Copies of this chain bind each other. A is one copy, B any other.
Amino acid sequence: MPIGRLARLCRLTVKALRHYDAQGLLAPTWTDPRSGYRYYRAEQVSTATSIALLRSLDVPIAVIRSALAAESEQALAAVLGAERDCAARDLAAREQTLRSIERLIRGTDAMRYHVTLHEQRPSRLVGVRGTARAEHLDPDTGTLCAQAEALLATTGLTSDEGLTALFPLDLEDTISVTVGAIISSTVTLRPGTVEEMLPGGTWASTLHVGPYVELPLAYAALLEHLHERGHTALAPITETYLVDPTSASPHELLTRVAVPLDLPD
């Protein structure tokens, strides 16, 4: 069976089949050494069709190769299972994507940030400190939040609002993040607990409604607002998670972003 016939049978292009030959995914059973013509057997139709199906699912060629090479059913299930997990993560991300675009369309209004200034007394944040990688800021912060939650639960401490995270103003590759609760009472610190003082004075803050991936928009709006007015932001920049992300859907999340300002008294 020449390449064109196989292509029509399994709904692939001739170019794709030649590519799979070059990649060692599916070689013809016989190639004429003079003409270079590729000839396939009828048994290869189902393999080619499986490849077509997997490729339509965006399974990479390398993964398909290892799936075809799998000797046991279990090995095959392992390869496909990994791919399914991958697809599941992808699906979740896509769902977020869709909602984000919808938000961008519906409310240019919801995307406007109102920046307010307020006076605040110095305060104490009690919790944990760790490092986060800039590329994985959201998940790494999430992990720290969980640790802080666990720690605070054992000490019986609670804050009026949700957890607060402190970030440096400039995001390096790996940054130091502190997460905890703002506490007014005096407590004895347990091992592993970290305490950080937040400066008093004028703070600027804005509210963000929606998933955490969109938080950079709030940062940009806040910092631009301050820049326009000639204000200088001090460290740390803080995020307070006013809605519990483990029980609310991402587009319902409410987060306050705030920074202390360097203002003459």
Interface residues, chain A, CB within 8 Å of chain B?
5, 8-11, 42-43, 45-46, 48-50, 52-53, 56-59, 73, 76-77, 80-81, 83-84, 87-88, 90-91, 94-95, 97-98, 100-102, 104-105, 108, 134, 137, 170-172, 213-214, 216-217, 219-221, 223-224, 227-228
Contacts and interface: CB of A to CB of B under 8 A. Distances in A.
Contact of A95 (B42, B45, B91, B170): B91
Interface of A is mostly: helix
A50 B217 contact: yes
A102 B84 contact: yes
Nearest to A102: B84
Contact of A84 (B42, B45, B105): B105
Given A46-B220, A223-B45, A101 B83 contact: yes
3 tightest A-B contacts by CB?
A46-B220, A42-B227, A49-B220
5 contacts: A5-B170, A84-B102, A87-B94, A91-B91, A91-B97
Contacts of A73: 108
B11 A134 contact: yes
A230 to B, nearest CB: 11
A207 B83 CA distance: 27
